[in-house]
């Protein structure tokens, strides 16, 4: 059922497109899943894509557009008139997908497209969704859902469910609301079939349910759906009124994006760059953090340069510069990563900062002592001077402890100031620890050698 | 609807448990979601947990057990007899959850529990699932599904759907199979209601569907469900026979675990350790990679030590040791991270290794040139010698290029040998680049100064 879109496949398709061979094109791509056709759109010119688009049936074409990569979609939509956008796909998509796509257009274009939508209800749903920040529950939700009033008769409820679900692709749940549209709970279809006719809806719905508030951050929505294994989550506004529902597929994207973002920050990449990107994009994505490291390295060089004479007398001090720098970096990143994951998974206990401090101090000391013991033994065994052995050992403990503590509190502080704490896991923390490490190392060296 | 399990809450609950105050306990926890009760189980003793377990109703209690953390569950299950395990929750859970829990028990205990299960069909489903590796489609799937034979009459199909779905919590899809149980496609319920009575099932089902093979790796299953936005995916055996179905909630866990694992490897943590773990666990999780860094640092120190005299004459060489080491580490991690993400998302084009090589070479050269230009200007402006300026600049380009190429090919090679490529993103690659960096730096220095 799965296809690999090869270079040969694309070449063959482009030939068929240039000869306008409709039958063979449909033979080639007619049975493909929209997501696969979307992938093809990314490999051909927007004009070729426009031609393919006119060949496939409307509903499928709409899904193809929804699956396009954002940059591919931008170029593709330039080929369509506002009327075409409105008629051929906005009306064929769920409101959340339609709103997502519209939000990428200029405000003027948005207005044009909206004015071309015939169904006023569809248009107003989209207008409503466009209001919300894309990283909130409101930005994730769709308006399509099945809801019934708690006061309706059994027969009316059944009729309404039938009527409403006819217009919706996937009915996950039936929601129960009161006269003010306030969400009361969910109605299991089984109960509707099994319970005797005399039982009113008000005695049948389940009121212990998970909900999202419309301005809740997407990350929190993802945490709720993950924790409670939910496929769909209702969204309510400030007054508790049911305004939409979020399905798990959108949340899967949120989870993946969050993970990717943290990963990129840790690896020192700016934005989501892929191996397939061109050399220029790849360079641009990597340069910023390399420059941060560069500036850090220059600061580090100035710290070391103040110890020039010491190095001249004891060049062996220089041997362990990379080791001290690396250990500080590693310990710092470890601490930060634990905090960043704890914040992301919501598993981080709020609590006493002093407690955290002492814990990190203990862990740092334990790790530092073991590493210091190893390096001390090495230096003594391999005939380095006692001064050097003690200097490196002491610096090792100090650097690991300091890096662990910085690594814990920097992401916590960033988080408090609403800055992404994952910033603290990348080249930023390594660079800072390099500098602190050099400072500590040579200071201890100076004390130890009693020199200069 | 969400509760925060505070220390006060636990203390209050433990008081009530010790005074066996059943009414107030149920008032406190009766309305909680199973996942929240599972969280509470992690905070109290197994004996207290066992007591709570007997108070809540059977179906909910079974779900609580399914939501327990593995280590909490192990201790909790020790409190139950095999008969209790079989009767109170194995029979109340979906087959995949039951099998997951059973797989954590000793083989002897597994046999005891299985022999206590009354329903032979349930038992054999579980035995069947226990065969599969947990990281494959077979290990993720459940046996509960609704399937109909393509040759059945319309009425029989409707009756069977009704009958089969009565035993299943969530009916996502109706599967169509042939007489040999081979999966043919899915049957949309809407069609069953709308299409005229004369149309046979064979003309009604959709045969273009995504499937998983039973031995497919969990990661690949996750990629399919993500790509095609699926809520449920059927699983077939080698003969194409329908053997189970995978739901998105299990795949969300796979996605999260994959992301966490890559993140941990990159941050140099062993296993999933959390901020709340005790000092000993935290130290153990951090020590292994610190030791790797330590050994790397020792090797690095030996490389530098061969240039002792050079450092004595030109101590300014030492200033830029951390910079060169850091830039190699940063560039290497960037390259590796791009490859690891590409492999994970399946977006990495298979292709010419030479092409990759030249691309990485170009990106490395571009980045290296910019960084070298900056550092060259710095050194010249701040009055360092031309020799030093040229040495650092040249070493910078070389180190970034080499690190980029190593960073690309090490994860690719690991992957070819079925070793997790994410290994290449952590302290391993940084340490290796430190060593290579020092080697390159001092070699260039020696050539440049024409010294010693």
Tell me the fold of A7-135: MgtE N-terminal fold (1.25.60)
- Rounded to a whole number, what is the distance in Å from the CA of A108 to chain B's nearest CA? 31
Fold for A146-247, please state it: CBS-domain (3.10.580)
Query: Residue B146: beta bridge partners?
Result: B174
A115: closest CA of chain B, how far (Å): 30
Edge-first strand listing for the sheet containing B174-177 = B146-149, B174-177, B183-187
Asked if B326 and A378 come within 8 Å (Cβ–Cβ), the reply is no
| pLDDT tens by residue, chain B, 452 residues | 456 778 888 889 999 999 998 889 988 888 888 999 998 998 899 899 999 998 988 888 898 999 998 888 989 998 889 988 888 777 788 888 899 899 999 999 999 999 988 888 888 889 989 999 989 999 999 988 999 999 998 888 888 888 887 777 666 788 999 999 999 999 877 677 677 888 888 898 988 899 999 999 999 999 999 888 888 999 999 999 999 999 888 899 898 888 888 888 888 888 777 777 888 888 888 888 889 889 999 999 999 999 888 888 888 889 999 999 989 988 998 999 888 888 887 777 666 678 888 888 899 999 999 999 999 999 999 888 888 999 999 999 999 999 999 999 899 999 889 888 888 888 888 888 889 999 999 999 988 887 44
- Mean pLDDT across chain B: 87
Rounded CA separation A41/A79 (Å) = 13
- From CA A183, how far away is CA A243, in angstroms rounded? 9
Cβ within 8 Å of residue B37, ≥6 positions away: B29, B52, B56, B60, B64, B67
The answer to whether B342 faces chain A, any CB pair under 8 Å, is yes
Q: Do A319 and B312 touch (CB under 8 A)?
A: no
Closest residue in A to B173 (Cα) is A170
φ and ψ at residue A5, rounded to 5 degrees: -85, 95
Q: Which residues of A touch B190 (CB under 8 A)?
A: 166
A436 touches chain B (CB under 8 A): no
A8: which residues sit within 8 A by CB, 6+ positions away? none
List A245's β-bridge partners, or say none: A142, A234
Alpha-carbon distance A100 to A108, whole Å?
16
Here the ipTM equals: 0.80
% of chain B surpassing 90 pLDDT = 33
pLDDT at B177 (0 to 100): 95
Environment class of B75 (CB within 10 Å of its CB; exposed 0-12, middle 13-18, buried 19+): middle
B199: number of CA atoms within 13 Å, CB side? Answer: 11
Q: Which of A104, A124, A64, A112 is nearest to A88 (CA)?
A: A64
Instruction: Tell me how far apart the alpha carbons of residues B419 and B340 are, in angstroms, rounded to a whole number.
Output: 12
Does B155 lie at the interface with A, CB-CB under 8 angstroms?
Answer: no
Distances in Å between the alpha carbon of A226 and those of A1, A66, A337, B231, B253?
29, 24, 21, 14, 8
pLDDT at position B452 is 41
Q: Is B10 exposed, middle or buried (0-12, 13-18, 19+ CB in 10 A)?
A: middle
Query: Which of A263, A294, A366 lies at the smallest CB-CB distance from B279?
Result: A366
Does residue B234 contact residue B175 with C-beta atoms inside 8 Å? yes
Please tell me if residue B6 touches chain A, with a CB cutoff of 8 Å. no
pLDDT at position B212 is 95
Which chain A positions have a beta carbon within 8 Å of B321's beta carbon?
A: 304, 318, 321-322, 325
Q: Which of residues 275-304 of A touch B (CB under 8 A)?
A: 275-276, 279, 282-283, 286-287, 289-291, 293-294, 296-298, 300-302, 304
Nearest to B154 by CA among B121, B122, B195: B195
- Inter-chain touch A330–B289, beta carbons under 8 Å: yes
Q: Which residue in B127, B100, B103, B128 sits closest to B114, CA to CA?
A: B127
Q: Which CATH architecture has domain A279-449?
A: Orthogonal Bundle (1.10)
Instruction: Name the minimum distance, in Å, from the CA of A311 to any CA of chain B.
Output: 6
- Identify all chain A residues contacting B342, using CB atoms and an 8 Å cutoff: 274-276
Report yes or no: B381 at the A interface, CB cutoff 8 Å: no
For chain B, the first-to-last Cα distance in angstroms comes to 75
Closest chain A C-alpha to B229 CA, distance in angstroms: 6
SS3 A382: coil
Contact B337 A274 (CB under 8 A): no
How near does any CA of chain A get to the CA of B201, in Å?
20
Q: Domain spanning B7-140: which superfamily?
A: MgtE N-terminal domain-like (1.25.60.10)
Which of A231, A262, A315 shows the shortest C-beta gap to B263? Answer: A262
- Beta-sheet pairing, A183-187 with A174-177: antiparallel
**B32/chain A closest Cα distance in angstroms:** 8
* Out of A298, A318, A371, closest to residue B311 by CB: A318
The beta-carbon neighbor of B434 closest among A248, A253, A322 is: A322
Residues of A in contact with B283 (CB under 8 A): 363, 366-367
What residue ranges do the domains of chain B occupy? 7-140, 146-256, 279-449
For B283, name the nearest residue in chain A, comparing CA atoms only: A363
Q: Do B438 and A294 make contact, defined as CB atoms within 8 angstroms?
A: no
Does residue B232 sit in helix, strand or coil? Answer: strand
Residues 82-141 of A with CB under 8 A from B: none
How far is residue B282's CA from residue B290's CA, in Å, rounded to a whole number? 13
Helix runs in A146-233, H state only = 154-166, 189-194, 218-227
Residue with tokens 């059943």: B22
Contact between residue B239 and residue A397 where contact means Cβ atoms under 8 Å apart: no
Q: For residue B276, which residues of chain A lie inside 8 Å, CB to CB?
A: 342, 347-349
Nearest CA in chain A to B264: A337
The chain B residue lying nearest A336, using CA atoms, is B267
Cβ of A315 within 8 Å of Cβ of B315? The answer is yes
- By Cβ distance, the residue of A252, A264, A366 closest to B226 is A252
CB contact under 8 A, B374 and A327: no
Q: Is the CB of residue B348 less than 8 Å away from at least one CB of chain A?
A: yes
Closest chain A residue to the Cα of B274, Cα to Cα: A338
Mean pLDDT by 10 residues, chain A (452 residues): 74 91 88 90 90 88 89 89 84 86 90 88 89 92 91 88 76 88 88 78 90 94 90 93 92 88 86 79 88 90 90 90 91 89 77 79 92 92 88 94 91 89 82 90 87 45
Dihedral-angle region of residue A363 (phi above 0 means left; psi in -120 to 50 means alpha; beta otherwise): alpha
Contact B319 A296 (CB under 8 A): no
DSSP H/E element including A245:
strand A242-247
Q: Which of residues 199-218 of B touch A (CB under 8 A)?
A: 208-211
Architecture of domain B146-256: Roll (3.10)
């Amino acid at each position: 059922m799965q296809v690999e879109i090869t270079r040969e496949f694309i070449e063959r398709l482009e030939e068929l497109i240039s000869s306008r061979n409709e039958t063979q094109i449909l033979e080639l791509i007619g049975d493909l899943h929209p997501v696969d056709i979307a992938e093809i759109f990314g490999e051909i010119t927007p004009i070729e894509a426009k031609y393919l688009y006119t060949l496939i049936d409307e509903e499928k074409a709409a899904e193809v557009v929804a699956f396009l990569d954002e940059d591919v979609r931008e170029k593709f939509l330039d080929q369509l008139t506002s009327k075409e956008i409105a008629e051929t796909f906005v009306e064929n998509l769920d409101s959340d997908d339609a709103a997502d796509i519209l939000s990428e257009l200029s405000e003027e274009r948005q207005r044009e497209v909206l004015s071309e939508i015939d169904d006023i209800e569809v248009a107003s749903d989209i207008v409503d969704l466009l209001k919300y920040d894309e990283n909130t529950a409101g930005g994730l939700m769709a308006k399509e859902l099945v809801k019934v009033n708690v006061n309706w008769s059994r027969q009316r409820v059944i009729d309404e469910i039938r009527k409403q679900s006819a217009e919706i692709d996937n009915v996950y749940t039936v929601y129960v609301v009161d006269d003010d549209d306030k969400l009361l709970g969910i109605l299991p279809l089984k109960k509707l079939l099994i319970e005797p006719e005399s039982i009113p809806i008000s005695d049948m719905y389940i009121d212990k349910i998970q909900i999202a508030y419309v301005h809740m951050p997407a990350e929190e929505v993802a945490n709720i759906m993950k924790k409670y294994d939910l496929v769909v989550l209702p969204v309510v506004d400030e007054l508790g009124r049911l305004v939409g529902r979020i399905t798990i597929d959108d949340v899967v994207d949120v989870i993946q994006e969050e993970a990717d973002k943290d990963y990129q920050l840790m690896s020192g990449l700016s934005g989501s760059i892929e191996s397939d990107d061109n050399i220029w994009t790849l360079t641009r994505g990597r340069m910023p953090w390399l420059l941060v490291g560069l500036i850090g390295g220059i600061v580090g060089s100035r710290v070391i340069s103040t110890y020039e004479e010491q190095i001249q007398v004891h060049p062996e001090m220089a041997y362990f510069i990379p080791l001290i720098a690396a250990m500080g970096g590693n310990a710092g990143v470890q601490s930060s990563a634990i905090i960043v994951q704890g914040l992301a998974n919501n598993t981080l206990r709020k609590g006493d900062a002093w407690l955290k401090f002492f814990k990190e101090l203990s862990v740092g000391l334990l790790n530092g002592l073991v590493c210091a013991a190893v390096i001390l033994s090495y230096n003594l065994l391999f005939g380095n001077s006692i001064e050097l052995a003690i200097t490196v050992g002491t610096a090792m403990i100090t650097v690991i402890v300091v890096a662990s503590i910085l690594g814990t509190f920097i992401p916590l502080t960033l988080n408090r100031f609403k800055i992404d704490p994952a910033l603290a896991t990348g080249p930023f923390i390594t660079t800072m620890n390099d500098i602190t490490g050099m400072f500590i190392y040579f200071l201890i060296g100076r004390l130890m050698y009693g020199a200069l």
